[in-house]
Amino acid sequence: MTDVFATPVVGVMLSLLAFELGLWLNRKTRLSLLNPLLIAVALIILLIHLTPLTLDDYQRGGQIISFLLAPATVALAIPLYKSIRLLKESPGPILAGIVAGSLLSLLSIIFLSKLFHLSQVLLLSMLPKSVTTPIGIALSEQLGGLPQVTVAAIVVTGIFGAVLAQPLFRFLRITDPVAQGIAIGTASHVLGTAKALEIGEVEGAMSSLSISLAGLATVLMAPLLSSWLV
């Protein structure tokens, strides 16, 4: 039995099945809180605790999925290309909103880390919380953070964005679809963008565009801020 769990295929298949189950539950319930990724993570943790499957066994397959993060990063150019028309229509306001949102995300982490006296390593690990996982892991390693903490921060940020986006828009009376899409994509990356696509086509397109540009802005600004902190 242990030999069966030790094969990389097990980790890959469990990841895919857990995520598919998460998607099914999300579609059935239509609850933003039941995020497919969150459900998949919870199921994998449960399996590791309740079955002979060990973390090392699972990671053999997880490494294959991690390898695919590199081409996934390159694929971010696709939504950027598809949304380039929207960017050409109002480049100034769009770029200003994305850069401002990315900077605010970085500064909020610095402020909260100082407020709660978090270690320098934790601060650096959470700086890339609002970018996609591939960019976040690479940036965390570059800054000297812990990629595991970075991934957790990215997932939590994305789920919060998906759950709270619409209530916040209603509370703040933000009705412009372009502004909504920029806010979601800049603050909560791919997980938030899935919600933006549910809201509307323009929101989804602007959110997809913001993911790529916010990632670029964060990669440029985070090292400068981290060098200032050290």
Question: CA 24 → CA 29, 36, 130, distances in Å?
Answer: 9, 8, 26
5 pLDDT tier (thresholds 50, 70, 90)? low
Q: Of 45-49, 67-71, 207-211, which gets the smallest average pLDDT?
A: 67-71
Sign of the torsion formed by the C-alpha atoms of 68, 49, 1 and 16: negative
87 pLDDT tier (thresholds 50, 70, 90)? confident
C-beta of residue 199 within 8 angstroms of C-beta of residue 87: no
Instruction: Give the rounded distance of the alpha carbon of 153 from its chain centre.
Output: 8
DSSP 146: -
Residues 6+ away with beta carbon under 8 Å from 37:
19, 22, 155, 158, 159, 191
The span from the CA of 99 to the CA of 91, in Å, is 12
The span from the CA of 69 to the CA of 131, in Å, is 13
DSSP 132: -
Q: Stretch 86-99: mean pLDDT, rounded?
A: 87
Amino acid letter for position 158: G
pLDDT of residue 76: 65
Q: Which of left, alpha, beta for 215 (phi over 0: left; psi -120 to 50: alpha)?
A: alpha
Domain ranges of the chain: 2-68, 87-229
Question: For residue range 147-205, what is the model confidence (pLDDT) as tens digits?
Answer: 999 999 998 998 888 888 889 999 999 999 999 999 999 999 888 888 888 888 888 88
pLDDT of residue 170: 92
pLDDT of residue 3: 62
Token digits for 152? 């957790």
The span from the CA of 77 to the CA of 84, in Å, is 10
pLDDT of residue 193: 83
142 pLDDT tier (thresholds 50, 70, 90)? very high
The C-alpha angle 47, 52, 54, rounded to 5 degrees, equals: 75
pLDDT of residue 230: 56
